[in-house]
Amino acid sequence: MRVVDIIAKKRDKQPLSDSEIQWFVENYTSGTIPDYQAASLLMAIYLNGMEKHETVALTMAMAQSGDLLDLSGITDYTIDKHSSGGVGDKTSLVVLPLVASFDVPIAKMSGRGLGHSGGTLDKIETFPGYNVNLDEETFLRLARETGLVLAGQTRDLAPADGKLYALRDVTGTVASLPLIASSIMSKKIAAGANGIVLDVKAGNGAFMHDVESARELAQMMVDIGVSIGRDMVAVISDMNQPLGHAVGNAIETIEAIETLRGGGPKDFREHCVEIAHLMLKLAGRGTRWTERETVRDEIINHLDDGRALSRFRKMIEAQGGDPTYVDDLSKMPKASIIHEIVAEETGYIQQVRADAIASAALALGAGREKKDQKIDLAVGVIVNVKVGNKINKGEHVAVIHANHEEKLKEAIQFVKQAITYSNKPVDTLPLFYDTIYGQ
């Protein structure tokens, strides 16, 4: 085969064969194909798309470019979740121990975040001593012994995806649905799960800005999973305003623990309950956890009576973290400057733009723009209002946690841009727009 022929074929809007896709991925990963030719093929895919069989072939080729994790020694059926990324999305910190409290083993590999705040690993490292760098033997042993492990990648999973994503990032080809779908699903498949719940965000704070685009991406990923024998569920969830109140690493972790204690923001709590319900539905395989309301009631009981919190605390301790931080939230990293934002007028909250709140958090140092960038765990924004809330002039609408005056000034401007008002009642935003099943 010649890569120039493959490029020309996709340029001319012809579908590639499975063998052509496999050959390209293998040779690009090994370094035989140079970046300029790979970039040309990516642009042809971006412009002309891929048929379903091509997307499945690309997904499997990337998944098989590295190691495939075998979780069969933990349980005969494993489940995983993935979020397409959102502002204030600390869902894994609650959902994983919540599902594990039903004696469903969870072995989750997460990453560090790029953008407005850190990823799940950054948040969990607010617990001193917590070890995210487990070798594979320890990762699997903890999953068997404790039923819950959360760590970074123990193997070289889907290295082709990492290499191709870096190239997409600098060639303007990120926003391609087949490339996005295959990127996400290749890592999920390599991580060994039998059932996968996808949380695909839609809104100004998400990669997919409208519901239809998010639904198209979700359906594509569900179809990929089903094509290779996975059970799939995808939800389309709102990201036009932050999920919960906190946006920032330590303050999001605190909010997650408050939710595990039976409290937490109403929208975030409900979001976690729904994702946990869907994960249990898959884990039950049609014989357990099938009655939606009954299961949801039991999930809420596990939050309220401390069973989910107990699983979380056990995980922290098992991976070397200080569990006293779970019991005493005052130990968490704290910012030196606390600045309150008040409502500029009386009326109703018209918008709390998630993208602008994300920009405020990034300006404070809560996130990173490069993979090796150090982040400030203590800083962030707590947004006290939701779209549709009635508000009086002078009431607190947000609190900024900062460590530098100049960064605070920039964050204040973003927060003020994010929150707008109306003198007429405003409809609240839904948590979810759709659910897509595939088995």
Is 53 an annotated catalytic residue?
no
Catalytic residue among 82, 188, 201, 302: 82
Catalytic site residue from 90, 168, 188, 407: 168
Q: Cβ contacts of residue 187 below 8 Å, gap of 6+?
A: 63, 157, 158, 161
Kindly name the residue from 187, 230, 313, 353 that is annotated as catalytic. Answer: 187
Choice among 84, 101, 183, 227 that is catalytic: 183
Is residue 101 flagged as an active site residue? no
Is 92 designated active site? no
Q: Which of 161, 199, 231, 267 is an active site residue?
A: 161
Q: Catalytic site residue 339? A: no
Q: Which residues are catalytically annotated?
A: 82, 161, 168, 183, 187
